[in-house]
Chains A and B, each alone.
Chain A
């Protein structure tokens, strides 16, 4: 009993000493678990998704036939509805991104360069707090806000406008509004970080050289904030692109995700679901390449 206890620290010390002399092995041992996790779980599932996309479902037996076929992609290309859904999803994601950027920029600018530290903390809290609430709660809250006889409808009726619930209510417009609200913090925070990094001296130099507010913004602030803006847009764009719950709850239309979701279940058509999932993966790959061009990853 006593012998192993005495032996253990000595053995440990020997191992530590050896590791100290071989720093690469030490680093490798430290990284193997997280890297393994990332490699196996993350890339493994992506690889599986990719493989499934080229398999097919035998409608008779409901079994997945593990033989290479392009049938799923043929179906996506031939049936116009799948193209329509992709265009709709991308269009809404783009609108959400642009509107979020327009709303987020002034807020982030105010926080980074104008607000007193006290007010900045207050703004930070009000932006971060909603992130603690469940996404579903926020979505249902918006449904109530936009519903016929809901608060907005009621408010507009006070001013004699009756058509609110016809325009909003359950519609694509409502869905877009909810997306804009839900993802806004993901746009504000990167832009804030980007703007905060611009040294005051740059703005002073611009003023010294005779530039007024407009040109300074266009030629100094905006180019320097561009990488942050693009980084924020990656969040809003990809999060909207992949969502399927807000479309189902707030609108009556389908996103790519809704079709993917419907394809499993009793239908069990995982191969088609996988093939259709590759569409947003492809779109994001292109988006990230463009984002890299704008320097979104320069400061990583």
Chain B
């Protein structure tokens, strides 16, 4: 009886503690798990208001703590249960017997990812964050800087991915770049005998009226940037330079475009599974996608007739980083995982399975001779793996802030207003 009472009161205390730590919104340095070496070096003594100027990066990897808990995009942590040829979890465990249990929580959006990391202190050791979450995670001191020397393959990463702005702040590396890609335009080839070439297929009412209700769009605030990117080409008088740095006038134009698009959208897809189901049933026939869904649909038996293209206006995209939580209970296993994820063998598997450019070009030799289900000829050319000009042409997801980052100063529309406006678009 007293034992049980003790358990319950311990649970109450734990929940209260969790509630308190989330209300204070700043990490407590005394949080237990992080006090293990070597992550202890990463614990910030004071919660910084913005990216910390002075940090002690994690510089050594100790023995593994037995298990590893990850937050990741679908397709980033595969153990062969989806497609048996794609399995880099079991080899990881075989190579690191001191990290013998890997669990993953799949997140559907960057919002999900951020929430899981910020509210799940101690639950998750690391995350595969895109740029619209990674900088926020750095700013809010949720993730720890690492010394690139602990990642043996770091030096082989594409030069423009070694210190990109989405994971390197003030010279500190908050994780290791993993892969990148664009949000392409997918369509059902049986419904579109003439392939689309432009985003006008999902933004121009004159075109969309032929397939009203079959258009799909990404259900996320960040989709506003896709509208802005379209306007950058089609309404040059607005002077849009960066679809994430929009003045009020530019922003209003993007919102107006999305409201115009709204009646033609049959479904805003909320997860990769949602979009797959809709393209399979024919409820959606055209719209923005990740390469992952296109590959999955093509890989079905019988294959769903879909194709994905890079429209002439360019595209928004993601560049993902494996990051170590400051509250990790298993920091050493996470560091081993980060090192594992950028080895050429793993990079090749992830890139092919997910459909993205690997951060480590050494994967190309493996990819070009691959015979696995999603292999494509000349993979690295198709994905522009080392093409810096192409990389620079993608408008990578990042969190919109008031500071435009240029001569316009603090006149840009920040994320909270993006969110309110997006709610308004959906009505």
Interface residues of A (CB under 8 A from B): 33, 36-37, 40-41, 44-45, 48, 57, 59-64, 75, 79, 81-82, 84-85, 140, 143-144, 147-150, 165-166, 169-170, 248-249, 252-254, 259, 262-269
CB distance from B35 to the nearest CB of A (A): 26
Q: Assess the B266–A264 pair: CB atoms within 8 A.
A: no
Tell me if B143 counts as interface (CB < 8 A to partner A).
Answer: no
How far apart are the CA atoms of A57 and B419 in the complex, in Å? Answer: 13
Tell me if B402 counts as interface (CB < 8 A to partner A).
Answer: yes
Tell me if B414 counts as interface (CB < 8 A to partner A).
Answer: yes
How far apart are the CA atoms of A144 and B426 in the complex, in Å? Answer: 24
Which of B118, B139, B221, B281 has a CB less than 8 Å from the CB of A262?
A: B221
How far apart are the CA atoms of A75 and B139 in the complex, in Å? Answer: 27
Give B175-216 as 1s and 0s: 1 = Cβ < 8 Å from A's Cβ atoms.
000000000000000000000000000000000000001000
Tell me if B5 counts as interface (CB < 8 A to partner A).
Answer: yes
Per DSSP, chain B at the interface is helix
CB distance from B18 to the nearest CB of A (A): 11
Which of B111, B283, B414, B416 has a CB less than 8 Å from the CB of A147?
A: B283
Q: Assess the A37–B12 pair: CB atoms within 8 A.
A: yes
Q: Assess the A267–B25 pair: CB atoms within 8 A.
A: no
Residues on B with beta carbons closer than 8 Å to the beta carbon of A147 = 277, 281-283
Q: Assess the B132–A266 pair: CB atoms within 8 A.
A: yes
* Residue on B nearest A58 in the bound complex, by CB: B416
Q: Assess the A143–B267 pair: CB atoms within 8 A.
A: no
How far apart are the CA atoms of A62 and B221 in the complex, in Å? Answer: 17
Given A262-B221, A265-B110, do A63 and B25 touch, yes or no (CB 8 Å)? yes
Residues on A with beta carbons closer than 8 Å to the beta carbon of B139 = 62
How far apart are the CA atoms of A269 and B115 in the complex, in Å? Answer: 11
CB distance from A269 to the nearest CB of B (A): 6
Tell me if B265 counts as interface (CB < 8 A to partner A).
Answer: yes
Tell me if B270 counts as interface (CB < 8 A to partner A).
Answer: yes
Interface residues of B in 254-285 (CB under 8 A from A): 265-268, 270, 274, 277-278, 281-283
Given A262-B221, A265-B114, do A170 and B266 touch, yes or no (CB 8 Å)? yes
Q: Assess the A252–B266 pair: CB atoms within 8 A.
A: yes
How far apart are the CA atoms of A236 and B71 in the complex, in Å? Answer: 34
Q: Assess the B424–A149 pair: CB atoms within 8 A.
A: no
Residues on A with beta carbons closer than 8 Å to the beta carbon of B132 = 266
Residues on B with beta carbons closer than 8 Å to the beta carbon of A149 = 281-282
Q: Assess the A62–B140 pair: CB atoms within 8 A.
A: yes
Interface residues of B (CB under 8 A from A): 5, 8-9, 12, 15-16, 19, 23, 25, 49-50, 109-112, 114-115, 118, 132-133, 136, 139-140, 213, 219, 221, 265-268, 270, 274, 277-278, 281-283, 399, 402, 414-417, 419-420, 422-424, 426-427
* Residue on B nearest A150 in the bound complex, by CB: B281
* Residue on A nearest B119 in the bound complex, by CB: A264
Given A48-B23, A59-B416, A60-B402, do A253 and B427 touch, yes or no (CB 8 Å)? yes
* Residue on A nearest B19 in the bound complex, by CB: A48
How far apart are the CA atoms of A239 and B280 in the complex, in Å? Answer: 31
Given A64-B25, A148-B282, A170-B266, do A267 and B221 touch, yes or no (CB 8 Å)? yes
Q: Assess the B266–A266 pair: CB atoms within 8 A.
A: no
Residues on A with beta carbons closer than 8 Å to the beta carbon of B423 = 81-82, 85, 254, 259, 262
Residues on A with beta carbons closer than 8 Å to the beta carbon of B12 = 36-37, 40-41
Listed A/B pairs (29) with beta-carbon separation below 8 Å: A33-B5, A40-B12, A45-B19, A48-B23, A59-B402, A59-B414, A59-B415, A60-B414, A61-B49, A64-B23, A81-B424, A84-B427, A140-B277, A143-B277, A147-B282, A149-B281, A169-B266, A170-B267, A170-B283, A249-B274, A252-B267, A254-B427, A262-B221, A264-B111, A265-B110, A266-B111, A266-B133, A268-B118, A269-B419
How far apart are the CA atoms of A252 and B23 in the complex, in Å? Answer: 32
How far apart are the CA atoms of A37 and B5 in the complex, in Å? Answer: 11
Given A170-B266, A252-B267, A269-B416, do A262 and B111 touch, yes or no (CB 8 Å)? yes
Q: Assess the A265–B274 pair: CB atoms within 8 A.
A: no
Interface centre among B5, B265, B278, B416 (most CB of A within 10 A): B416
CB distance from B380 to the nearest CB of A (A): 32
Q: Assess the B281–A267 pair: CB atoms within 8 A.
A: no
Residues on B with beta carbons closer than 8 Å to the beta carbon of A252 = 265-268, 426
How far apart are the CA atoms of A138 and B323 in the complex, in Å? Answer: 36
Q: Assess the A249–B283 pair: CB atoms within 8 A.
A: no
How far apart are the CA atoms of A36 and B10 in the complex, in Å? Answer: 13
Residues on A with beta carbons closer than 8 Å to the beta carbon of B414 = 59-60
How far apart are the CA atoms of A242 and B12 in the complex, in Å? Answer: 25
* Residue on B nearest A269 in the bound complex, by CB: B416
How far apart are the CA atoms of A170 and B287 in the complex, in Å? Answer: 16
Residues on A with beta carbons closer than 8 Å to the beta carbon of B274 = 249
How far apart are the CA atoms of A245 and B277 in the complex, in Å? Answer: 16
* Residue on A nearest B281 in the bound complex, by CB: A147
CB distance from A8 to the nearest CB of B (A): 13
Q: Assess the B427–A266 pair: CB atoms within 8 A.
A: no
Residues on B with beta carbons closer than 8 Å to the beta carbon of A37 = 8, 12
Residues on A with beta carbons closer than 8 Å to the beta carbon of B9 = 33
Q: Assess the A266–B114 pair: CB atoms within 8 A.
A: yes
How far apart are the CA atoms of A267 and B402 in the complex, in Å? Answer: 14
Given A41-B12, A63-B25, A169-B283, do A266 and B19 touch, yes or no (CB 8 Å)? no
Residues on B with beta carbons closer than 8 Å to the beta carbon of A57 = 416
CB distance from B279 to the nearest CB of A (A): 11
CB distance from B245 to the nearest CB of A (A): 15
Q: Assess the A249–B15 pair: CB atoms within 8 A.
A: no
Supplied contacts A252-B267, A259-B423, 7 more A-B pairs, CB within 8 Å: A59-B417, A143-B277, A148-B283, A169-B283, A254-B423, A262-B419, A266-B415
How far apart are the CA atoms of A144 and B273 in the complex, in Å? Answer: 13
* Residue on A nearest B219 in the bound complex, by CB: A248
How far apart are the CA atoms of A266 and B422 in the complex, in Å? Answer: 14
Interface centre among A57, A81, A252, A259 (most CB of B within 10 A): A252
CB distance from A279 to the nearest CB of B (A): 14
Given A265-B110, A267-B221, do A81 and B427 touch, yes or no (CB 8 Å)? yes
Residues on B with beta carbons closer than 8 Å to the beta carbon of A262 = 111, 221, 419, 422-423
Which of A140, A144, A249, A266 has a CB less than 8 Å from the CB of B110?
A: A266
